[in-house]
Amino acid sequence: MSSPQQLALRFHRRRFPPPPVSTSCSFASRLPPSDCSFASSFSSSAGMSPEISMLIRRAALIFTVLTLSALLLYTATDSLRLSSGSLSSYSFARIFPSYLNNSPSPNPTQQLEEVLKNASMVNKTVILTTLNDAWAVPNSVVDLFLKSFMLGDGTHRLLDHLVIIALDEKAYNRCRIVHKHCFALVTEDVDFHEEAYFMTPHYLKMMWRRIDFLRSVLELGYSFVFTDADIMWFRDPFPRFFPDADFQIACDNFLGRPDDMNNTPNGGFNYVKSNNRSIAFYKFWYSSRETYPGYHDQDVLNKIKFDPFISDIGLEIRFLDTAYFGGLCEPSKDLNVVCTMHVNCCYGMDSKLHDLKIMLQDWRAFMSLPPDLKNESIISWRVPQNCSLSSLRHFDSPPPEMDVQQEEED
């Protein structure tokens, strides 16, 4: 008769039989014959109790889940970082605030330099405009601005060198949809998304922020053409610029000579070369806002252009002829030579949009003419209309009968 100890040992052996040893190499059926003996010996040496095997499988499962989770989190974070483009750290933090708490903030200067480099011409020149939410909504100013480049004579290629400086998050998001070179310029504690009416405190802050930003572009070594977004580009302006000038600016009223300091400048369009003189000038211009509080950049420029500091630094200033760089204050009369037209001397978004659309219609009508009729200048601007001001009444305009006839032809 077996002892109790022997019965217990037999029961234990029946309950946990030793794992079978396979020498058929079935688990490695795809291995070459020379490797089968290795697989067989491996299986023999790998025997272990079920408890240990279960623990290993659980550990492997936990490790796999953790690895996949970490991989998914890394991929999502990397994708968000890449899609943000030139978005400022302030805007990015508002979208994903926990990210910047654990990471260094991106350097805005490096981001700006990267955008400028991608848009630059071979001589380190870029075209810049600013945009806020009020001008960025669909079918608004920015769409007409970009359309003018596409309709202009030799201007479509210049879009490759245009950088849109977004002043708020909505403007930046809209820029990313309609254009390829965008930069988010965020000013702490200032919201520029609404329409800035002329000479309001909101308007003044936006204008002076622009001057300070343009100084930083010059310090990075980039020359620029700055253009307001309510300026239509009809021809390449570069052939009309003066080669020896540091600072060239459009006019509300041009007196006939580009070096006449009594010309009335308009800060909405200027061409500035990057050098020590222009950088010093922009610093002086920006600091002069404290000397003349309550004035906007254009009025301050009108005052400091006579300052001895300008001649001391040797800055060469030229004023651009309204025959080529016109506006509603003083329209360019000949569509055969006009480069840009500015919807200045105009108040209110609706009025601007109305006259901008009329202006583009006039340009399309002109471009559809055969060359001989273009030279006869049978088409002229039908603007200003909603932007009409009493100060514009002294300019020649077509008689009412011609307006009606031209409208029917369109």
Predicted confidence pLDDT, tens digits, the chain (410 residues): 555 455 444 544 444 455 444 444 444 444 444 444 444 444 444 456 777 777 777 777 787 777 777 766 666 555 444 444 444 333 333 332 333 344 456 788 999 999 999 999 999 999 999 999 999 999 999 999 999 999 999 999 999 999 999 999 999 999 999 999 999 997 665 554 444 444 455 667 878 889 999 999 999 999 999 999 999 999 999 999 999 999 999 999 999 999 999 999 999 999 999 999 999 999 999 999 999 998 889 999 999 999 999 999 999 999 999 999 999 999 999 999 999 999 999 988 999 999 999 999 999 999 999 988 998 877 889 999 999 755 344 333 443 333 433 433 44
Token couple for 209: 């922020």
Residue type, 272: V
Q: CA 349 → CA 81, 116, 328, distances in Å? A: 35, 30, 15
Among 278, 304, 160, 173, smallest CA distance to 217 is for 278
pTM, full prediction: 0.70
Among 304, 240, 226, 301, smallest CA distance to 265 is for 301
Report d(CA 83, CA 75) in Å as an integer. 12
3-state class (DSSP) for residue 104: coil
Residue type, 367: M
* Token pair 């003044």 in the structure block, residue: 204
Token couple for 125: 């020149």
| CB contact at 8 A, 331 and 341 | yes
Beta strand pairing status for 223-227 and 264-272? antiparallel
